[in-house]
Amino acid sequence: MSTNRETVRSLCKIIITRLENQKFIRVYPEKRQQATEELFRKVGPYVLTDQDLRERALEAIGEKAEVLDESAYTDNERFRAAKQVIRKSFGDDVLHGLYFQRSLKNLAAAVRETFMEINHIEDVFGTDDELDRATVEAIQRFDPKNLH
């Protein structure tokens, strides 16, 4: 299964739901969708998808088209090589087709800060460490294959 921006939006929804179920946050029921969108705007840029990787690989191929045209590689081989180079730049921060540009710990801190800043969250409970740990766990348990 290939991931896309909707996958990241679903991850944000799952984070909110899990933290709410664990009693770390309380969300105004009528503002749940807005809270998800706000979290998506905040953390979405730090989470890339298979679709984003594909676009970056195609851009990389486009920038080097003249050099690549002189090589004996097929377009498919060029694309796979470009995608592999981009993928390797993420190191261990890859999980279920999502590529994290920040460590999970830093991403969890961004989630916590978002919960403190937005007015769609009624209340936040627990220590920073507890919230961060619960957020990292929600991210690690998230699997796009289970969405549908």
pLDDT tens digits, residue range 28-83?
999 999 999 999 999 999 998 988 887 877 776 665 555 545 555 565 676 666 66
CA 69 to chain centre: 34
Token output for 7: 């996958």
Token output for 111: 């989630």
pTM: 0.81
Comparing CA positions, the residue from 135, 139, 93, 91 lying closest to residue 114 is 135
Residue 133 has pLDDT above 70, yes or no: yes
Residue 92 has pLDDT above 90, yes or no: no
Q: Which residues pair with 25 in a beta bridge?
A: 124
CB 26 within 8 A of CB 20: yes
- Cα(141)–Cα(14) distance, rounded to whole angstroms? 10
4 vs 70, which has greater pLDDT? 4
- Cα(128)–Cα(109) distance, rounded to whole angstroms? 8
- Cα(100)–Cα(109) distance, rounded to whole angstroms? 14
Residues 96-132 have pLDDT tens digits of 889 898 899 999 999 999 999 998 999 999 899 999 9
Work out the number of other CB atoms within 10 angstroms of the CB of residue 122. 13
CB 35 within 8 A of CB 118: yes
Token output for 95: 């999980």
pLDDT of residue 18: 96
Comparing CA positions, the residue from 22, 60, 59 lying closest to residue 14 is 22
